[in-house]
Amino acid sequence: MNAGIDGPAVRSGMVRRLRRVLFASVLGTLLAAPAAPAAPQEAESYIVVLEDSIERPGRVAQRQAESRDADLGHVYDTVLNGYAVAMTPSDAAALRGNPAVDYVVRDGVMHASSQEVPTGLRRISALGNPTLDIDEVNDAHVTADVAILDTGVDFDHPDLRVVARANCVVAGSQCVSDQGDDGNGHGTHVAGIVGALDNSYGVVGVAPGVRLWSVRAGNDAGAFQVSDAIAGVEWITERASQVEVVNMSFGCGVECIGEKAPFQEAIAKSVDKGIVYVAAAGNNVEPTAGGYIPSPNGPTVAPGQFPAMFEDVIAVSALADFDGAPGHLSSSPPCSYGELILRDVNGTVWVDEDDSLANFSNWGYGTDVAAPGACIRSTWKGGGYEVKSGTSMAAPHVTGALAILASRDNPNTRADVAALRQPLLGTGSTEWNDTHKSYDEEADTFEWIADGVIEPLLNVDNESVFDASHPGNVADIGVTSHTTGALDLYARNAANQLWHKTYSPYESPGWSSWYREPTPNNAGVKFAPAVSSVSATTRDLFAVGSDNQLYFRSFDSGNWGQWWWMPGPTASINGAPSVTERPDVAAGRTLVVRGSDNQIYLRNFAAGNWGGWGPLGAPPGGATSSPSVTNHGCCIVHVMVRGSNNAVWDRYWSAAYGWTGWSSLGGVTTTAPAAADAGQTLYVFARGADNALWYRRYTTSWSDWTSLGGQIVSNPAAESRDGGGVDVFAVGLDGKLQQRRHVAGAWTSWMRVDDECPPGACTWPAP
């Protein structure tokens, strides 16, 4: 080691330096180039700690910063004697020699503790599906409802989105709603595997942010009475219009079923209502649906496992995966679950190996699909996290996958349930060893025991099948109401794609998933889309394409037509279109746009045809935003736009007087206005200079401008869906859609549309 420091290494370095000097000398002679000035240094952030003897660190900090033309940050005089400062590395080096300074260090950047992606999620290829958007940002939720029929779910766990709960472990004739804590932890662990939030901490589930319904049928010791489980199934089935999938990570043999199976009958009737049931295959190292157990000592008969063996239930066996990847890569598990060796009741010794059937797992022709079930980290009671193993952990992986499928194709009948099973099984992987490994103690040999049935291993990387699409950051929005109480929402995202979701208070309360829609010429859209509905079965959608031309598309009797080009009033359209229904004209619509000359133009639809464009002019100085159009009452049409003075201007038409001139509604606005008619009240909304949402309303006269608060970055959109209240939408600073509603004389608080209005949180009066 000393020879390397003092000997050959130094001598060779000297030779290299000598060669560089000689070469530089020759090059300088040939080119006669002047020496380049030293590059200016960039300021960096440092923390300066002063000597303890310094009594006034603030004064010293200010003097030292000013002498170096540095930017002074925090000054510390309690936990430290020092300050933070942005200065050059040269200044930092000079300060280190100052007798008043103890030491100087670079300021560092800390990050929130990262969320863990469990091995099970990696093994089913969830990270390979971009529509799941697993990126430690809680901006996309799978829009489905999953009931966890178990020991309960920690209602306050910060990594879970529990929207409802019931306690069925009670005396009395019915489960008790809004009760039931998890005193065991098992149900909370299962819930996290299904749908833990995709945020910056904890874990993430297969269906991130899915709506979880906690149905407690097991006690604190983890024991389940069949009668309580049946009561849970009944409570869930009474809510079949909302709940799509149920997870059951428990079971027993024929001893707890009897000659007849009321539990099986209850599940069958629940499936008739369109609910999918998933069950753990069991941890008894035996066939799920009864039959012979193969072993080196000869076959023995197993009674089977309930409810996994019920025909209407999807039974899940467990994969032992130690590293989250196929291919027998790891030799030892990341946790201890009874060691690697398990001896069953018959004395057979089962040995675990990576990427094989877990040594505890049941199997056989009654098992439908396999999923990771060994060493799975998930949520736990009390807001914590634990690592557990069992088919109880395998089943919720499948439940989460079914939740993704159900978010796209909501099951309502037994046929719908059967249809959801097909893509689940059809996309399964065969890259695993679906056998047990047995050890013959007398012969001291290992033997693979095959059951003759190869279950598909859950795989969710096919984004066209397991499509949990979300637009990401939204840029612009348009909204209409096609049925009393319902909403149709269209949005343009940051990638200029067009997305759609609906709100219904009827068959499936709450918001639907986001659906991506085709765009004109498949080339993207600009500005906000506009949509109108003249009946429950029709829609008209308008958008400006990437070529600044106007296009429209119509929906009628269950089908969308293609996009059609609509000639504009000028060479191009400068902003978003706006459209309203005309109650005074059968199936009539009025469409307004801003032309490339910053003037407003109008076109009417009546008697099955579009009329020509007519000029509406503009406020003094021209229109500086897209227009908004709405009808008011029976026969008045209002067009509003922002003027050059940043105020909102209004012009309206009535059958009695025709068009008025432009009049100012005042205000200092930074976006286009949004107008909506709610019975006898006319609303106008716009973003103010403070980035909050402001509004005025007209009944017999105009109110003052009033703030609704919030921090928004988009034009608002507004609609009245019930003739009395009004809904207003805008994009928040996080790029997500926010909503407030005025009904019964009061405004709701701001709600995120992507929170899909969990039961009880967005209960509005029935239409």
**Catalytic positions:** 150, 186, 392
Task: Write the burial class of residue 345 (CB in 10 Å: 0-12 exposed, 13-18 middle, 19+ buried).
Answer: exposed
Name the 3-class secondary structure at 674: strand
Residues shown for the chain: 767
DSSP state of 596: T
Name the 3-class secondary structure at 227: helix
Question: CB neighbours of 441 closer than 8 A, spacing ≥ 6?
Answer: 349
Look at the block and give the residue holding tokens 């809680």.
138
Whole-number Å distance between alpha carbons of 495 and 541? 19
Whole-number Å distance between alpha carbons of 627 and 547? 20
Per the CB < 8 A criterion, the answer to whether 203 and 159 are in contact is: yes
The phi and psi torsions of 511 (rounded to 5 degrees) equal -85, 145
Annotate 292-358 with DSSP letters as a single string.
Answer: EE--TT--EEE---BTTTSTTEEEEEEEE-SSSSSSS--SS-SS-SS-SEEE-TTS-EEE--TTEE-
Annotate 605-665 with DSSP letters as a single string.
Answer: EETTEE---EEEE-STT-B-S--EEEEETTTEEEEEEEBTTS-EEEEEEETTTEE---EEE
Helix (H) or strand (E) holding 76: strand 71-76
By 3-state DSSP, what share of the chain in percent is helix, strand and coil, each rounded to 5? 20, 35, 45
CA 650 vs CA 267, 378, 592, 682: distances in Å: 60, 56, 13, 12
Helix (H) or strand (E) holding 719: strand 717-719
Both tokens of 30, joined, read 């040939």
Name the 3-class secondary structure at 748: coil
Whole-number Å distance between alpha carbons of 669 and 688? 4
Question: CB neighbours of 133 closer than 8 A, spacing ≥ 6?
Answer: 139, 140, 198, 208, 468, 470, 472
CA 169 vs CA 255, 350, 734: distances in Å: 21, 36, 42
Question: CB neighbours of 389 closer than 8 A, spacing ≥ 6?
Answer: 318, 335, 337, 338, 358, 360, 373, 374, 375, 376
Look at the block and give the residue holding tokens 């006690």.
219
Establish how many alpha carbons lie within 13 A of residue 503's alpha carbon, considering only the half-sphere containing its beta carbon: 25
CA 732 vs CA 139, 221, 245, 672: distances in Å: 12, 45, 32, 16
Neighbours of 287 (CB within 10 A): 26
User: Is beta strand 245-248 parallel, antiparallel or unpaired with respect to 276-280?
Assistant: parallel
> For the packed helices 262-272 and 226-237, what is the interaxial angle rounded to 10 degrees?
10
CA-nearest of 489, 486, 511, 507 to 499 is 489
**One-letter amino acid of 565:** W
Q: Is the peptide bond before 326 cis (omega within 30 degrees of 0)?
A: no
Q: From the centroid of its chain, how far is CA 407? A: 12
